[in-house]
Amino acid sequence: MHGTTRPRPLATRDAGKLSGRVKVPGDKSISHRAFLFGGLASGTTRVRGLLEGEDVIATGNAMRAMGARIRKEGETWIVDGVGNGCLLEPEEVLDFGNAGTGARLTMGLVGSYDFGATFVGDASLSKRPMGRVLDPLRLIGTQVVARSGDRLPLSLRGPRVAAPIEYRVPMASAQVKSAVLLAGLNAPGTTTVIETVMTRDHTEKMLAGFGAVIGVETDGDGVRHIRLEGQGNLTGVADFEVPGDPSSAAFPIVAALIVPGSDVTIENVLMNPTRTGLIETLIEMGGLIEIINRRIAGGEDVADLRVRHSTLSGVTVPPERAPSMIDEYPVLAVASAFASGTTVMRGLEELRVKESDRLAAVAAGLAANAIAHETGEDWLTVTGNPDGRGYGGGTVATHLDHRIAMSFLVLGMACKAPVTVDDARMIATSFPAFEPMMAGLGAGFDDVAG
């Protein structure tokens, strides 16, 4: 983390209205996959708009270690892939730092190869369970040597010939679905993933874009059957543009809604329906969010969003919306603090196993800043006060979680008393330009003497 071990406390304060046009970083999920699929496909993929956070670069480094050639020219990343089925055994361990997505997807990718690969990560990633991805890999014949609880560091060795499987994903998880499909790329025959709750579908869309033979059927009960033909050719994409990350756009969107007088336009935001739960919810709450210039880029829906200060009302968020906005609940809790009435959020058990126990961290942050809330095992309610009177003045423990840090810095932009986060260094993992971008819109930041 920038080579410094000292925490960097940071505060925001009410600095008046926010206005201007901004672009948020490229989508993290799509950026990881651009390196994975580009590195695997034969030929060259040229990627613009890639999110250059530490997590995504770790995925690029892993693909390099297995034979892909990756370089940057100007604003474009050029990826020369090895060809499907042609990954090389890595000579060194694959270090994923804090990148859970990168680690889990790459485990899927290498799990069907007849070679050994060892995965390591930082202290936070080494605590996170990997069993949900390793269980289906064991079914295709992958040998796993891991710490108890299936945690990093761990080593995988794929079978001589991987068995294609039909796998029903036991929880709503795009990472598990994707890991199984990636393993299927190097298995003969057809790999099928059965998904009872639809999750983000970037893997399916992007694999088709790179030439994989993949089909999706949804039965009468809404259950998706995704079938992938293994050992087919993947071909590089000459001009791949990564759309802006809706999870990063969430911060300027909520800031503009809650800071009086604000009028902000966010360009090039991914509008894939599996990712727009927060925008849907904020519009239901009365948020003035205008969706303009809708278009298709890289097989995905993209648009610009014009967001103005709004009078918000509390809503009940349906639990089935959780998979499409799981990373956005912390910043939704902040928006809810400025809505009249109570906002009810249910189905949040996944937040307990993110970079931190995000549900506990959000509740503690709200408490530190005098915001009325209640929480349970998998739910949170926030009772708001539209003028935010009495809010702020607290210090929030981030638990090294970038989304907790950014969410509560947004809170401070609308409070009379400053809001401090105990450490802002980890924001670099997903959104290195967060501070300069928000400052450019008019937000006020103050470093706090540690």
pLDDT value of residue 116: 98
Report if pTM > 0.85: no
pLDDT value of residue 199: 87
Other Cβ atoms closer than 10 A to 2: 10
Instruction: Going residue by residue through the chain, which has 450 residues, state the pLDDT in tens, using 9 for 90 and above.
Output: 444 578 999 999 998 999 999 999 899 899 999 999 999 999 999 999 998 888 999 999 999 999 999 999 999 999 999 999 999 999 999 999 999 999 999 999 999 999 999 999 999 899 999 999 999 999 999 999 999 899 999 999 999 999 999 999 998 899 999 999 999 999 999 999 999 988 889 999 999 999 999 999 999 999 999 999 999 999 999 999 899 999 999 999 999 999 999 999 999 999 999 899 999 999 999 999 999 999 887 678 899 999 999 999 999 999 989 888 989 999 999 999 999 999 999 999 888 876 668 999 999 999 999 999 999 999 999 999 999 999 999 999 999 899 999 999 999 999 999 999 999 999 987 788 999 999 999 999 999 986
186 within 8 A of 84, measured Cβ to Cβ: yes
pLDDT value of residue 2: 45
91 within 8 A of 85, measured Cβ to Cβ: no
Other Cβ atoms closer than 10 A to 123: 9
Other Cβ atoms closer than 10 A to 308: 17
The residues that are catalytic are 327
Using DSSP's 3-state secondary structure scheme, residue 101 falls into: helix
Which residue, chain included where needed, has tokens 């890595």?
A: 90
Fill in the DSSP letter of residue 82: -
Alpha-carbon dihedral of residues 247, 103, 214, 299, nearest 10 degrees?
30
User: Which amino acid is present at 151?
Assistant: R
Q: Which two tokens stand for residue 249?
A: 């756009």
Fill in the DSSP letter of residue 78: E
User: Which amino acid is present at 389?
Assistant: R
pLDDT value of residue 249: 97
pLDDT value of residue 298: 63
175 within 8 A of 101, measured Cβ to Cβ: yes
User: Which amino acid is present at 23?
Assistant: K
Burial tier of 3 (Cβ tally within 10 Å: 0-12, 13-18, 19+): exposed
pLDDT value of residue 1: 43
Distance from C-alpha of 443 to C-alpha of 19, rounded to nearest angstrom? 10
- Backbone phi, then psi, for 235, in 5-degree steps? -125, 140
Distance from C-alpha of 149 to C-alpha of 146, rounded to nearest angstrom? 8
Distances in Å between the Cα of 43 and the Cα atoms of 50, 56, 188, 228 are: 19, 21, 22, 21
How far is C-alpha 134 from the geometric centre of its chain's CA atoms?
A: 21
Q: What is the CA angle 191-83-430, rounded to 5?
A: 80
